[in-house]
Structure 1
């Protein structure tokens, strides 16, 4: 992949995932809509970041000089992560996805562990299992927060650049590898909450709706405090979406039920040679 490919890759990603959302849409969910320009700009920014940090993990597929698919991946310490992966809908079923995934996996050939977030696409799931990944069902926790149910939260503060060492330490404890340079991207895009007490530490990146997008903590109590603080800042009229919650994170499901959020099954967490991280909520692409 080259830098001039990023815009075309974003369009393929948007088209492929919108088509998949339409195919897998569940009754009761909001109607799928194409990616907004704001989200598209953030996608391009994250992909350019990966081209800077992991150029050997980012590949495109061309047919007759036309870009029809791509994959982005990254290595952080001894972990390989699949960030994003799509083939144009009209070009699927021709083996391009398999070749792209093989190229990305080669980037992580020296890694001990691997992680990925997977949709419900059967072809992609088959490839992940063949590549040695175990699939763990994901949950989606969503709904409008009932304000009267919000508890008082103490000892959670706004995070700052000086917290980087703490964040990386929590990453290593929960998922086995630090986010390292990815924290710079996450800090630019999201609000950072931190708790750092003798009784427990943790951090959460929170989006504009008040939804935790990434969370790592030393225990359930710290994880719950960060999540409640995030939900307290949510818009009462906008549903929150806590996505990519694996079954090992029962604390998050219990909190969602207490907050009157709905619990749905949505996608999979793919893991290779590692246990489900907990307390942990992975980022959709940087995990």
Structure 2
């Protein structure tokens, strides 16, 4: 991938994911669609700069981008940030070479993680690449502020002042810090929350982008604080609630959200407990 590919590659990724999601989870107006575009291009551009060897596109003979794969490596942990082929062109031999190209940067990684969509073709590819699967749930529904408990201890964070807590909690849950990706989450509309010395989260419009903590109590407080940052009645979603994260299931049910099956998490190597943890779809 080159810088010139970023807008078209981001659009391929957006369209591929949007085709898999219910309409209520997609941008509803021009302003929301524009914000989504900016976030997606920010994600692609950020990872092209930090991990150029993991950034690949597939193009036609005319140079039109029809596929994208983005991978990152943080402290020896490899992650697949984005993988998509233009809608209507799947099954034509585009996805396999893309995924294999991004997997080259995983050859010397001690562990790896993929947050999968529910697309059967994607799940088959990840499993055949030697990854073990972990089933997940998702939750969605409106914020009911009357259900949010009082006395929450999480506060607005500062990426510089709270860097030690952020790095330590990330290493605890997935054995690698998030490093430059924290700034990228905040640059695209995320707000940082910190539970002093015990965990952190990024929230956007009341939905958690990521939650990482040392213990269930801190993680629970952080997730409630994400909901508290949203507007009453705003629709929120919580993705990739995996094994050993029952604390998150308890919170979303107490909020009155509905649980549904989600795409699985695929893992390889020693990633640590992956709990208490709600991973970032873009930055794992």
1:30 equivalent in alignment to 2:27: no
Q: Which residue in the other structure is 1:240 paired with?
A: 236
Q: Say which SS state the counterpart of residue 164 (structure 2) adopts.
A: helix
Structure 1 pair 20–211 and aligned structure 2 pair: CA distance change class (3 A): closer
| Cα distance in 2, alignment partners of residues 218 and 71 from structure 1 | 31
Q: TM-score, normalised by structure 1?
A: 0.91
TM-superposed CA distance for 1:88, in Å, is: 1.1
* Correspondence 1:203 to 2:200: yes
Q: Which runs of 5+ in 1 are unaligned?
A: none
Tell me the secondary structure at the aligned position of residue 95 of structure 1.
coil
SS at match of 1:94: coil
Change in CA separation of 1:262 and 1:122 when aligned onto 2, cut-off 3 Å: same
* 1:164 and 1:183 in contact (8 A); partners too: no
Distance 2:196 2:27 in 1: 39
The Cα of 1:32 is off from its aligned counterpart by 5.0
Looking at structure 2, the residues matched to 122 and 71 of structure 1 have their Cα atoms a distance apart, in angstroms, of: 17
Question: Which segments of 5 or more consecutive residues in structure 2 lack a partner in the other structure?
Answer: none
Q: Is the 8 A contact 2:144 2:233 kept in 1?
A: no
SS at 2:84's partner residue? strand
Aligned equivalents of 2:181, 2:18: Cα separation in 1: 26
Matching residue of 1:98: 96
Over residues 96-154 of structure 1, what are the superposed CA-to-partner deviations in whole Å (9 max), with x where a residue is unaligned?
Answer: 11100010000121001101111111111111001111122221111123322221134
Cα distance in 1 for residues equivalent to 2:218 and 2:107: 35
Q: Corresponding residue for 1:173?
A: 172
Alpha-carbon distance, 1:196 to partner: 1.5
The CA deviation at 1:14 is 2.3
Match of 2:38 among 38, 41, 54: 41
Paired with 1:230 and 1:169, the residues of 2 have a C-alpha distance of 20
Among 140, 143, 150, the alignment partner of 2:141 is: 143
Residue 31 of structure 1, CA deviation: 6.9
Among residues 271, 277, 281, which one is paired with 2:278 in the alignment? 281
Give matches, 1:213-224, under 5 Å: 213-224=209-220
- 2:268 aligned residue: 272
User: Could you tell me which residue of structure 2 aligns to residue 120 of structure 1?
Assistant: 118
Residue 190 (str. 1) matches residue 190 (str. 2): yes
How far apart are residue 226 of structure 1 and its match?
1.1
Tell me if structure 2 keeps the 8 A contact 1:205–1:214. yes
Provide the alpha-carbon RMSD of the alignment: 1.7
Query: Higher mean Cα deviation, 155-164 or 218-227?
Result: 155-164
After superposition, give the CA deviation of every residue in 1:27-77 in whole Å (9 maximum; x if it has no partner): xx7375688111111111121111111100001112213321111111101
TM-score scaled by length of structure 2: 0.92
> 67-76 or 153-162, which moves further after superposition?
153-162
Q: Is the 8 A contact 2:14 2:40 kept in 1?
A: no
